[in-house]
A and B are shown apart, each in its own frame.
Chain A
Amino acid sequence: MLRFIARRLLETIPVLLIIITATFFMIRFVPGGPFTAEKAVTPEILRNLEAHYGLNKPLHRQYLDYLGSLLHGDLGPSFKYPNRTVNEIIAEKLPTSLELGLISLLVALALGLTLGILAAVRRNTWLDYLCSTVAMVGICVPTFVLGPLLVLLFAIHFGWVNASGWYSPVDRVLPCLTLGCVYAAYIARLTRGGMLEVLSQDYIRTARAKGASEARVIFRHALRGGLLPVVSFLGPAIAGILTGSFVIETIFQIPGLGREFVNSAFNRDYTLVLGTVILYATLIIGLNLVVDVAQVWLNPRLKFE
């Protein structure tokens, strides 16, 4: 297993390097820079600005400089926020996004597993159809429709919660519910499918024949195998939740990194774009590795290849 992890980690280095290189050159080769949008900067000031941020050096020099400082964990100064570094901005905004993502993932797992197990255990009853329909609604109503609708209903109509902001615990409810819903729906479908397959296996019959209670059969014997499809879905789900937060943070005006990333792309804040891309890529690749390891660990039939 250690060898597997070590090999995957080694593989990550060239992948990250390609991502950094591709992003770096893509945003540089396109016309327009961080200072062109601002109100008529005189050529002299522009030159000074560029000299200050090292933008007047040859491109390959800038690239190597960037990689060099990256090795020290330094993501450089932001171009749009004077006197702030990308590291500071990330340190300030990332916790919010992580909190949003983590709660949403928990919501998705709690809702999805409950619905999926219920649907599988009561197969082909009204409960199954209800759960499946709810799951389909979750898949087909996108976050950017569901979010505003929930706001319309619970914030504007009933006035139970705030329409936007990220201050009190109550403010977490709508954003996390919105973001978690889609993945809850997928998890419910996968759980149902996985559980149905497992429940028809011989060892479940054996467990029943031994006189194990229904709850024990389901939670002790069936769940572990039934959850395998869910575990392999967690990789894409985590990536989806991280990028899905861009929209959620925009809808609910949450001061997180997702919104910052989209703004930085619009603003051509080169270093901030690069920094967030590297961070997100590392997070997603790393979490995928964790999921892969968990998958093999849960299912002895798979091997670390």
Chain B
Amino acid sequence: MPPSLSPKPAAIHLEPPDHGSSPWHDAWSRLRKNHLAVSGGIILVALTLLCVFGPLFSQSYQDQSLDLGATAPGAAHWLGTDTLGRDLFARLLYGGRISLMVGLVATVVALTIGVAYGAVAGFLGGKTDRVMMRIVDIMYALPFTIFVILLMVFMKEPAEKLDAWLRNTVHLEGLQGFGNMLLLFAAIGAVEWLTMSRIVRGQVLSIKRMEFIEAARSLGFGRRRIIFRHILPNILGPIIVYSTLTVPAVMLLEAFLSFLGLGVQPPMSSWGVLIKDGAEKMEEFWWLLVFPGGVFSLTLFSLNFLGDGLRDALDVRTAKD
């Protein structure tokens, strides 16, 4: 912050009144009444816990047993085994780790770019804003899926090199496929930030003109402080809602890429990879398609219901409907 001549404002602490209810509290009680959203949230938490901790207790996801081959769901293997005799339940949990992680990390990437870009455009306004948003408009009209596909195909070798370099220098065998994952995060994050930036910009524009911002400015606060301390907390609602709705979009894109053989690479696995394998063998072994497809759809359901619930609870108007 540049030095200013205005007196340094005294720290003001406003204690919230004891019996009032904050907007967040209101939102929470509204959300709790929405059964679909609550069930979505519970399912998500349960699935996440299962995927994170489940593999510690279940059968190994890569133990093969070629003699066993593909078996239908039964007592020994709840969801059956694949053609290499690997337990499908364990593979689902392990694949879920990757799918959920991609969903989360790529969303964070998209969120960071989108919020920063939108906040800058909205706050600076004027010509800068016009140029920045025109760029977003143009990018909206581009066939981005095509670029993600090209990126995944053509950057595969550099990613593998990075992978090998990481393993040789850091000596972590667990990092196998890490370069490819990084590429996936970057590629997906680079695509999904556009809507977020539009929303943030619109919100910043409307909040910027409010009196408390003027007050903060007249107190001599710098731009950065005004953006991060005064504006961003006030648009947290839309940001949360959109992040929740971006996660399923991101997971869908990852699965789409994996289905084409471009996403997560073996020996790693994700729900998209499992669906692809299942679709190839479904004529004989229906469970290989039905269970991964079911779990994936269930996750998308939960995320969408939770996102919609949050939107209603936080009273965010969306461009979507």
Question: Real complex partners, A and B?
Answer: yes
**Interface residues in chain A, defined as those with a beta carbon under 8 Å from any beta carbon in chain B:** 11, 15, 19, 23, 26-27, 30-32, 136, 139-142, 144-145, 147-149, 151-152, 156, 189-190, 192-193, 229, 235-236, 239, 242-243, 246-247, 250-251, 261-262, 265-266, 273, 277, 280-281, 284-285, 288
Does A284 contact B283, Cβ atoms closer than 8 Å? no
Query: How long is the Cα–Cα vector from A193 to B153 in the complex, in angstroms?
Result: 40
B206-221 at interface with A (beta carbon < 8 Å) = none
Does A140 contact B145, Cβ atoms closer than 8 Å? no
Measured CB to CB, the closest approach of chain A to B61, in angstroms, equals: 21
Measured CB to CB, the closest approach of chain A to B262, in angstroms, equals: 8
Does B297 contact A141, Cβ atoms closer than 8 Å? yes
B-chain residues with CB within 8 Å of residue A152 when the two chains form the complex: 282-283, 286, 289
Query: How long is the Cα–Cα vector from A251 to B279 in the complex, in angstroms?
Result: 8
Selected interface stretch from B16-24, B52-60, B154-162, B230-238: B154-162
B-chain residues with CB within 8 Å of residue A235 when the two chains form the complex: 141
Measured CB to CB, the closest approach of chain B to A97, in angstroms, equals: 13
Measured CB to CB, the closest approach of chain A to B313, in angstroms, equals: 18
Query: How long is the Cα–Cα vector from A23 to B146 in the complex, in angstroms?
Result: 10
Chain B residue nearest to A30 (CB atoms) is: B154
Does A140 contact B301, Cβ atoms closer than 8 Å? yes
Show 22 A/B contacts (Cβ-Cβ < 8 Å), sorted by A: A26-B154, A31-B158, A139-B304, A140-B301, A140-B304, A142-B255, A144-B256, A144-B272, A144-B275, A148-B278, A151-B282, A152-B289, A190-B321, A246-B260, A261-B149, A262-B149, A265-B149, A265-B153, A266-B153, A277-B143, A281-B142, A288-B141
A-chain residues with CB within 8 Å of residue B300 when the two chains form the complex: 139-142
Does A142 contact B256, Cβ atoms closer than 8 Å? yes
B66 within 8 A of A: no
Query: How long is the Cα–Cα vector from A180 to B163 in the complex, in angstroms?
Result: 39
B296 within 8 A of A: yes
Measured CB to CB, the closest approach of chain B to A206, in angstroms, equals: 26
B121-141 at interface with A (beta carbon < 8 Å) = 138, 140-141
Query: How long is the Cα–Cα vector from A32 to B256 in the complex, in angstroms?
Result: 25
Measured CB to CB, the closest approach of chain B to A79, in angstroms, equals: 15
Does B276 contact A144, Cβ atoms closer than 8 Å? yes
B164 within 8 A of A: no
Interface of B is mostly: helix
A-chain residues with CB within 8 Å of residue B283 when the two chains form the complex: 152, 156
A-chain residues with CB within 8 Å of residue B154 when the two chains form the complex: 26-27, 30, 265
Query: With A262-B260, A288-B141 given, can you name 12 additional A-B contacts, CB distance below 8 Å?
Result: A15-B142, A31-B157, A144-B275, A149-B290, A152-B283, A152-B289, A156-B282, A156-B283, A265-B153, A265-B154, A273-B150, A277-B146
Q: How many residues of B contact A (CB 8 A)?
A: 40
Does B255 contact A284, Cβ atoms closer than 8 Å? no
Does A284 contact B142, Cβ atoms closer than 8 Å? yes
Does B146 contact A32, Cβ atoms closer than 8 Å? no
B293 within 8 A of A: yes
Does A30 contact B278, Cβ atoms closer than 8 Å? no
B-chain residues with CB within 8 Å of residue A246 when the two chains form the complex: 145, 149, 260
B-chain residues with CB within 8 Å of residue A148 when the two chains form the complex: 275, 278-279, 282, 289, 293
Chain A residue nearest to B289 (CB atoms) is: A148
Query: How long is the Cα–Cα vector from A235 to B139 in the complex, in angstroms?
Result: 13
* Residue from the list A30, A31, A142, A243 in contact with B143, Cβ < 8 A: A243
A-chain residues with CB within 8 Å of residue B276 when the two chains form the complex: 144
* Residue from the list A147, A242, A247 in contact with B256, Cβ < 8 A: A247
Does A142 contact B282, Cβ atoms closer than 8 Å? no
* Residue from the list A30, A139, A189, A239 in contact with B157, Cβ < 8 A: A30
B149-191 at interface with A (beta carbon < 8 Å) = 149-151, 153-155, 157-158
Does A144 contact B141, Cβ atoms closer than 8 Å? no
* Residue from the list A30, A236, A239, A280 in contact with B155, Cβ < 8 A: A30
B-chain residues with CB within 8 Å of residue A147 when the two chains form the complex: 279
Does B143 contact A281, Cβ atoms closer than 8 Å? yes
Does A247 contact B260, Cβ atoms closer than 8 Å? yes
